[in-house]
Chain A
Amino acid sequence: MLKQAVIWTGGAALLAATTVDTVAVVGRHVGLPLTGSIELMQAIVLVSGAIGLVIATWDNAHARVRLLVERLGPGSRSLADRASDLVTLVFLLCLLAGSLWLSADLWDGYEQSEILGIPWALLRMIANLCLAACAVLLVLRLVRRRK
């Protein structure tokens, strides 16, 4: 249920991106340019990309080189899988830490986009939330593997 809701939200972002850039192109050619379309796209692309990271983690779909791992026995393969989850978790936590650091530093700066005034703090928050969700999913998988 939760996963479906996340997918529909990401899908809505994809549809919004399709609409914004299509309207921008048509508008430009009929003399009614869509002001700030690039800023809108930046915000929408962040939402779809960040949700994409969550879905790829949820589906365990991140790309791996399996050339050697597939030739290992079940025990060693399970160890390699856990190590892979752990490396991914550490990487995502580092990204999250860096992003939180920047968010905190820039919080009082009230960063916003130039034309539409889209608050960057909100965009950073969405990215951080999605990274945190990825980390939680990986922790859950690590715990399940251990059991």
Chain B
Amino acid sequence: MIYATAASGLVGILLLLGLLLGGARIGAALGIVGLVGLAIVLGPEAALIKSGVVLVDTLTRYELGTLPLFLFMAHIFFSIDASRDLFDAAAKFLGHRKGGLAYASIAGCGGFGAINGSSLATTATVGLVAYPEMKRRGYDDRLATGTIAAGGTLGQMIPPSGALIVFGIIAETSIGTLFTAAIIPGITQALFYALVVFILVRWKPHLATTGDRASWGERWRALARIWEIIVIVVLVISGISMGWISPAEAAAIGSAGALLTAAIRRKLTKQALFTAFHETLRTTGLIYLILLGALLFSVFVGVTGLAVSAGEFVESLSLGTVGTLILVALILLLLGSVLDGLALMLLTTPILLPIVEATGLTAIWFGIFITRAMEIGFVHPPLGMNLYIIQGVAKDVSITRIFKGVIPFLMSDFVHLLLIILFPAIVLWLPEYLGS
């Protein structure tokens, strides 16, 4: 164990960063660094056996069943155009207000976020529906694209969230509690975005137009098209939050409900089912490889004692709780500029989680915090995946204009992140209240 030092861990991290930036697959890079590191520290035999144990343990984890089933639910909902129905319903209620379609986009993203756990999918699907409508109504392209790119990040925060499921597995913490903890941050994030739109359209009225007020008959008809989705979402989220069902069971019920809804709407065709299977399996495989690699990498980081040394170093800076958390946020935002969200989470969690826990906060809080930091990475360059996704929809708008459009929302993201640091109860109150 002569190589079991923090320096070995640091070398591993640098190698990992090199591999990631060199274009290696995230899961393979995490895994190979973890395995080679373990082989050096513990010996090749122990490293190989550990890899065999991690493989079957991970693939048979009951809690991990949550992930493919929620993905399956989302893909079935894709096939019945749920994003269009959600946006339409929100537009019927809000479209007559100044900037109403921007509010409707945020609501549509929030609603769609509740049936899928991905920022990119939310941006793409809501963008396809909302952007052409906003363009037709004469909305400023920066406001339109910025709203959807930022709103899309709600997909990652509002439960069920793929990122939170992955975090729950890595940090060995309750996925159900993480989902419950994400509810208030998710809602406040959406309200912050709505506030940004409110301020923008009052400050510069030419950015948005007002639409015709829909009659109550039209509104009820729009609601009637999404009632099954609302029932399933409420059942899934409240079932988990109240502890009636486990996240995996909730995912199964959500999938069953989505299949039933698609069947009732006569859209459960063989082709739709095959596409849903294909997309679900592909995304599941993508995340599983990352998880396998991350679990091996975190074992390596654990045996080197890097997390302990990093914790001692941060403690020696005497920054206090808020100072330490702001430092952690800065590290995440900086790394988030060059690393994909999941890579950021899986690379930093083994090191930063003990530091955060030393300040008295919990893994649940850190899970929400790091997911929030990941979301910010989705909307700021150079990575800013959501910006590119929305450009795929709004081909006539340059990436620079899209970024300009997202800047006010990015500012609100920073304020929101700061509030989560200053008032951890935003995250921790609901799970504690429901738990008691």
Contact = CB atoms under 8 A, between A and B. Distances in A.
Contacts of B389: none
B56 A127 contact: yes
Interface string A1-24: 000100110110010011111101
B68 A17 contact: yes
A92 B56 CA distance: 13
Contact of A62 (B61, B62, B289): B289
Interface in B241-268: 245, 248-249, 251-253, 255-256, 259
Contacts of B284: 48-49, 52, 56
The DSSP consensus for interface residues of chain A is: helix
Nearest to B338: A67
A10 to B, nearest CB: 4
A131 to B, nearest CB: 8
Contacts of A116: none
Nearest to A66: B23
Interface in B6-51: 19-29, 31-32, 35, 47-51
Interface stretch (B95-103, B273-281, B307-315): B273-281
Contacts of B130: none
A14 B68 contact: yes
9 contacts: A48-B284, A49-B284, A53-B288, A63-B342, A67-B21, A83-B23, A88-B25, A102-B52, A131-B55
A4 B276 CA distance: 13
Nearest to A42: B60
A57 B68 contact: no
A98 B38 CA distance: 13
B285 interface: yes
Contacts of B273: 11
The range of chain B's interface size is 35 or more
Contacts of B35: 91, 94
The range of chain A's interface size is 35 or more
Given A41-B65, A69-B23, A21 B252 contact: yes
Contacts of A19: 252, 256
Given A91-B31, A95-B292, A101-B52, A46 B60 contact: yes
Interface in A38-96: 38, 41-46, 48-57, 59, 61-69, 80-81, 83-84, 87-88, 90-92, 94-95
A115 interface: no
B290 A63 contact: yes
